[in-house]
Amino acid sequence: MKMRKMVIIASIFLTLTIVAGFCAGKEFLIIAQTTDPGTADVQKTTDMYGIPLNIYDRLVEAVTVKPGESKIIPGLAEKWDVSANGLVYTFTLRKGVKFHNGETFKADDVLYTFDRMLDPATKALNTDFLDMIAGAGDRLSGKASSVSGMKVVDDYTIQIALTKPYAPFIANLATPAGSIYNRKATAAAKDQFGLDPAKTIGTGPFRLTEWVVNDSCTLEAFPDYFRGKPSLDGIVMQVVPDANTQRMLFETGKLDVFDLDNARSQVSYFLESDKWKGQIVSGPRVGVYYYAINENIQPFGDVRVRKALQLAIDRRTLLDKLFNGKGSLENGIFPNGLLGHNPELATIPYDQKQAKELLAKAGYPNGFDMEIAQVTDSPSTLKINEAVQSMLGQVGIRVKITQLDSATYFATRKEGKLPMYESDWSADFNDPDNFIYTFFSEKNTGARSYNYKNAAAFDKIEEARVMVDQTKRMKSYQDLEKTIVQNDAAWIPLFSLDHLFVVQPKVKNFKVSWNGWSNMPYNGITISK
């Protein structure tokens, strides 16, 4: 095994030496990713966004204003109007935008792209980003050959009608799933779209020019990009599975950026390094770590027991000991950086005495036996669970940690039968709906093994989705957050983390993307000569 690892490392060094020769005299950004992307067809992936964010554009874009803060700006659509009833969106598209194959971007490309995602033959993984469009359900089920809610008005105008108002619709379109394809090139590519660089066409600042599976992907600047040619000549995404190898490559100058999410064990080293600590760039990861509580498993049906769990976990110690203190405690559903985040939310204290009192009132003066589930081969999750096991033991709660293979774990969760578990969720789009509906809607609470029981909250979550008045909508979400977390103690928020990168001194204008992904758009970064 050791010999095999050395061979892999030597191979990576050789590849990067060749890359260095290819990039000599050019401004290429060299980054690492732990796995091969698999596909650049963003309709068929839900997490590998590195290529899509750089070779495609969307109708609207979510851009990072400053660490942890984003705003929606026009993209391929230069403006849009929404009908008074919140049902019809009319997009006026930019003229003169070119695809990488020279084709001119038009409204028909938008129609094609969104219809392709909802076509059951595509087997898209992220149809929930568009399933609110009128006729989407019939298209997905195969009852219709097109989506009735989409209409090309002319070459540079498209209308999209929704089944019912959906306030986060524009934010939805700013996600990678909203990336726009060229009808001619994509249809011609068939199953090679997203796999063959020559057949994978977008309008983005970079074009995919080479892909060696399980080795590297090369993106080169698109000179005809509608916002102007990128300052970088290109990007090389090198596949480096091992975190220690990534660090070695970075320290020897063969990588320009080191994502410390890939190597949490190395965070302390870089934070304490006189050479590198000044080269750390960070921003809040818009996401939250939490414990889910299954209210169908006793004694978790009793709110006093759930509140005792909240009080018995020392979240600050977890953050400091396991994540170098690089993050913020979260007291609700909406993390720091997300639209609707409430910094004034009451703090959940660490209070063992009060936890014991609540357990006694609930009829468990000597505690009880319970189970925490997790997937196997997740040492970081196990560390959190073992720490929490010890903390709950101090108030008399005896915890068994059960490790399940991924298939069993997720199947059991979908059935609503998974015991208490630790997880995290990062923002796909900047709207509270991305969190509260995902976790606590009547549709999803069973499938995530929360089994939350508050029917009034279910109704208010649905009402908030269709509110047109944004101020009232945010107020409604913050009231719901208090109900769910404080009154009902339906889950245990832990913390959000800072996303840390180390960059070479020559890398300038590197900004940590506002969202919860490691992948980000790299246009705007420069390399000093």
pLDDT tens digit string along 133-159? 999 999 999 999 999 999 999 999 999
- Chain centroid offset of residue 229 CA: 28
Instruction: Give the residues across from 422 on adjacent strands.
Output: 291
Q: What local confidence, expressed as pLDDT, does residue 181 receive?
A: 98
Q: Which helix (H) or strand (E) holds 478?
A: helix 470-481
Per cent of the chain over pLDDT 90 is 85
- Taking 70 as the threshold, does the pLDDT of residue 164 lie above it? yes
Q: What does the radius of gyration of the chain's CA atoms come to, in whole angstroms?
A: 24
For the segment 341-352, the average pLDDT, to the nearest whole number, is 95
Which range has the worst mean pLDDT, 9-18, 30-39, 51-60, 362-371?
9-18
pLDDT of 16 > 80? The answer is no
Q: Is the peptide bond before 197 cis (omega within 30 degrees of 0)?
A: no
Confidence of residue 468 (pLDDT cuts 50, 70, 90): confident
Q: For 291-306, what is the HEC assignment? A: EECCCCCCCCCCHHHH
Tokens of 392: 């709950």
What's the pLDDT at 188?
97
pLDDT band at 435 (very low <50, low <70, confident <90, very high): very high
How much helix, strand and coil, in percent to the nearest 5, is found in the chain? 35, 20, 40
CA-to-CA separations, 161 to 21, 92, 119, 461, in angstroms, rounded: 51, 15, 17, 22
pLDDT interval class at 70 (50, 70, 90): confident
CB 124 within 8 A of CB 117: yes
Check residue 17 and give its pLDDT: 55
Superfamily (CATH H level) for 287-497: Dipeptide-binding Protein; Domain 3 (3.10.105.10)
CA dihedral 90, 91, 95, 98 (to 10 degrees): -140
Q: What is the mean pLDDT of residues 51-69?
A: 91
Which pLDDT value is given to residue 24? 57
Residue 319 pLDDT class (50, 70, 90 cuts): very high
Residue 194, token pair as written in the block: 């997203």
Contact (Cβ atoms closer than 8 angstroms) between residue 499 and residue 336? no
Cα–Cα distance, 68 to 312 (Å, whole number): 29
pLDDT tens by residue, 487-508 = 999 999 999 999 999 999 999 9
- Which of the four CATH numbers 3.90.1310.10, 3.40.190.10, 1.10.1740.10, 3.40.50.300 does domain 2-237+515-527 have? 3.40.190.10
Write down the pLDDT at residue 14.
Answer: 53
Q: What is the pLDDT of residue 249?
A: 96
Q: Per-domain residue ranges for the chain? A: 2-237+515-527, 287-497
Rounded CA gap, 289 and 435, in Å?
12
Per-residue burial over 123-136, b if 16 or more Cβ lie within 10 Å, else e, is ebebbebbebbbbb
Instruction: Taking residues 310-318, report their average pLDDT.
Output: 98
Look at residue 13 in the predicted model and tell me its pLDDT: 52
Say if CB 299 and CB 350 are below 8 A apart. Answer: no
Q: Are 31 and 231 spatial neighbours (Cβ–Cβ below 8 Å)?
A: no
451: how many CB neighbours lie within 10 A of its CB?
19
Mean pLDDT confidence for 103-123 = 97
Over 70: is that where the pLDDT of 479 sits? Answer: yes
Mean pLDDT of 452-478: 94
Counting every residue written for the chain, the total comes to 529
Residue 471 pLDDT > 60, yes or no? yes
Q: Classify strands 234-239 and 28-33 as parallel, antiparallel or unpaired.
A: parallel
With cut-offs at 50, 70 and 90, classify the pLDDT of residue 1: low
Tokens describing residue 435: 């969190």
| Whole-number Å distance between alpha carbons of 99 and 182 | 7
What is the overall mean pLDDT for the chain? 93
Question: Can you give the pLDDT at residue 469?
Answer: 86
Look at residue 68 and tell me whether its pLDDT is greater than 80: no
Q: How does pLDDT run across 350-408, given as a tens digit for each residue?
A: 999 999 999 999 999 999 999 999 999 999 999 999 999 999 999 999 999 999 999 99
Judged on CB neighbours under 10 Å (0-12, 13-18, 19+), 456 is: exposed
Give the mean model confidence (pLDDT) for residues 407-434.
94
Instruction: Sort strands 491-503 and 257-259 into parallel, antiparallel or unpaired.
Output: antiparallel
Check residues 21 and 94 and name the one with the higher pLDDT. Answer: 94
| Residues sharing a CB contact under 8 Å with residue 32, sequence separation 6 or more, in sequence order | 237, 238, 239, 240, 246, 249, 250, 255, 257, 258, 259, 262
Please say whether the dihedral angle defined by the alpha carbons of residues 332, 330, 178 and 59, taken in this order, is positive or negative: positive
Confidence at 77, pLDDT banded by 50, 70, 90: very high
pLDDT for res 46: 83
Long-range CB pairs of 376-381, under 8 A, 24+ apart, other chains included: 376/403, 376/404, 376/405, 376/406, 380/264, 380/322, 381/422
User: What pLDDT does residue 349 have?
Assistant: 97
pLDDT recorded at residue 337: 86
The 10s digit of each residue's pLDDT in 257-301 is: 999 988 888 899 999 999 999 999 998 888 999 999 999 999 999
Least confident span in 112-121, 200-209, 426-435? 426-435
Please give the helix or strand (H or E) that residue 311 lies within, else none.
helix 303-312
pLDDT at position 224 is 97
Give yes or no for a contact between 130 and 136, defined as CB atoms under 8 angstroms apart: yes
pTM: 0.87
Element at 370 (helix H, strand E): strand 369-375
Residue 366: its pLDDT value, please? 96
pLDDT for 217? 98
User: Counting runs of H as helices and runs of E as strands, what totals does the chain give?
Assistant: 17, 20
124, pLDDT greater than 70: yes
Residue-level pLDDT at 212:
97
